[in-house]
Amino acid sequence: MSTQEIEIKVPPVGESITEVVIGEWYVAEGGHLAADQNLVALESDKATFEIPAEQSGVVTRILKQAGDTAAVDEVIGYLRPAEASAGAVPAAPATPAVTPAAAKGPAAAANSSGHVMPAAERLMSEKNISADSVTGTGPGGRILKEDVVRAAAQPQPLLAGNRETRKVTLSPIRQTIAKRLVEAQQNAALLTTFNEVDMSAVKALRSTYRDAFEKKYGIKLGFMSFFVRAVVAGLQQYPQLNAQISGKTVTYFNYCDIGIAIGGGKGLVVPVLRNAENMSFADIEQAIIEYADRARKNQISLEELEGGTFTITNGGVYGSLLSTPIVNPPQSGVLGMHGIFDRPVAVDGKVEVRPMMYIALTYDHRIVDGREAVSFLRLVREMIEDPTRLVLEV
């Protein structure tokens, strides 16, 4: 190593994390960057982190390519500071060393103008978009994630007879999601119970106070805050659903840390509302909006994902009618919300069309009996159908 070069190391990113996967290098070998400019993205099993440059300079060597694994404190490249580079002829960016080893299929090779960045590769896989239909705007014609987003917004032509396949390595977050879901199925006695909720009262309340709420707090009044408050009431009355089992020991929590499942840029994340029992409707809505925005930007921190005591997931935002949510271990319960659809129902002996939502509670039968589970779900329904109770806490 030249005495004029400084090491680019993997910084500590969490107590339980010992290694990361290299994501995108934002600057190729020979490329210049300014101080505090993002240099490389790192992916752990829970979140994505970006390493900024400590000072301006030139990236002289990249030791770990996108898709490689690196340990905490391991050197992954070298940077020559700007003062050491003064008078030197800047190296022209060569072919960027950013293509993951797994990207040897058509998606990486189809576009002759440049390489496909890892984030763009994953998004193309999710959207089923061919690299041939994406115009790269990055240095050297590299296809960036933004290019794929733009291409996805355009109508995609049907490729008659196209039978190509691509293999993409699961991101660390997706690997963790898969591992935890399988773990939940294998290590817990899961059972799901269902109910349905008439959303008429909540919709009427939102309609009446929508403008006043938004004027006072600067945010819209959504459905999730009603369900969070209803769940808190249920957990306080049926503490088995706010508990965790470990061997022969059950831990009951006197607080409600509610995880809210949110679809993020790297996959599903479940940030936690700490002490939700003390949060107002506005507090809940504001926190969820901020989490959703940062999840799209992959900016949720590890601390915000850890320690939930119960989870709420809303498949209704994607149009789901009914599903069986999976418990997020080691929690003992998860509430699944679904879409609101007009259906004919019996009301006081008459058939009326009402906005109805199916709700589902999956619970760990090892510590939660059917009586508590069904009663909990019924209480949630009653609170939503008479939301005044949520305000009066009765």
Question: CA-to-CA distance for 238 and 24, rounded, in angstroms?
Answer: 46
Nearest in space to 305 (alpha carbons), one of 293, 295, 314: 295
Quick: pLDDT tens for 53-101.
Answer: 888 999 999 999 988 889 989 999 999 998 755 544 343 333 333 333 3
360 vs 328, residue with greater confidence: 360
Topology given in CATH for the domain delimited by 173-392: Chloramphenicol Acetyltransferase (3.30.559)
**DSSP codes, 320-362:** -S-------TTBSEEEEE--EEEEEEEETTEEEEEEEEEEEEE
CATH architecture of 6-85: Beta Barrel (2.40)
Instruction: Give helix 145-152 / helix 118-127 axis angle, nearest 10°.
Output: 20
Q: Which residues does the annotation mark as catalytic? A: 365, 369
Model pLDDT for residues 171-215, shown as the tens digit of each residue: 777 787 788 878 888 888 999 999 999 999 999 999 999 999 999
For residue 100, the model assigns a pLDDT of 35
Within 8 A by CB and 6+ apart from 2, the residues are 60, 78, 80
Domain parsing of the chain, residue ranges: 6-85, 106-169, 173-392
Query: pLDDT band for position 109 (50/70/90)?
Result: very low
CATH class of 106-169: few secondary structures
